[in-house]
Amino acid sequence: MSNITEILNILDKSGEKTDPAKIAQMLGSTEEEVQSIIRGLEKDNIIVGYKTLINWERTDREFVDALIELKITPQRGEGFDKVAEKIYKYPQVKSLYLMSGAYDLAVMIEGRTMKDVALFVAEKLAPMDHILSTATHFVLKKYKNDGLIFYDNEEDTRQVITL
């Protein structure tokens, strides 16, 4: 495995920007070499950002996540890219994927309430040219995200009812 792949694996597992000196020590490399590789990966848009994963359900922040399935007609000469570009520019859109199967695009959005999500779909997505249909699914609970388990061995505090 190349140093580049090993560096990417370390950064992917950590979920945040890791000190190049620490990575160099792990790989038996120099800090300068690791810094140079990371700068190149950032410049080439292979590393597109660093992120901390937060279990928001354990905070007082209230919001709703939803997955919206979109069936669309691809634009001539542009495919799905032009429609996707219009969609991913909205700040509510957290992720956007081209899919195989029953629908074309999967859009992950965040809203303050279910009504906010519904209005976004009705006022922004559904009226767009080339969108044939939408289906909205609300996320009720996240168990695992980006490979990390949110509720591992959580104690069951429900009371047992017997008849």
CA R_g for the chain: 21
Instruction: Indicate the domain borders of the chain.
Output: 3-43, 56-141
- pLDDT-based confidence at residue 155 (cuts at 50, 70, 90): low
More confidently predicted of 93 and 55: 93
Mean pLDDT of the chain: 89
Q: Rounded distance, CA 14 to CA 20, Å?
A: 13
- pLDDT-based confidence at residue 138 (cuts at 50, 70, 90): very high
- pLDDT-based confidence at residue 36 (cuts at 50, 70, 90): very high
pLDDT average, residue stretch 65-88: 93
Return the structure tokens found at 149. 């388990």
Please tell me whether residue 110 adopts helix, strand or coil conformation: strand
Q: Which fold has domain 56-141?
A: Alpha-Beta Plaits (3.30.70)
Poorest-pLDDT segment among 16-20, 28-32, 158-162? 158-162
Q: Using a pLDDT cut of 70, give the percent of the chain over it.
A: 95
* Statement: residue 48 has pLDDT above 80: yes
Q: Which residues pair with 72 in a beta bridge?
A: 131
For residue 154, the model assigns a pLDDT of 59
- pLDDT-based confidence at residue 52 (cuts at 50, 70, 90): confident
Q: Would you state the torsion angle of the CA atoms of residues 25, 35, 3, 148, taken in this order, to the nearest 10 degrees? A: 80
* Statement: residue 1 has pLDDT above 60: no
pLDDT average, residue stretch 25-46: 92
* Statement: residue 100 has pLDDT above 80: yes
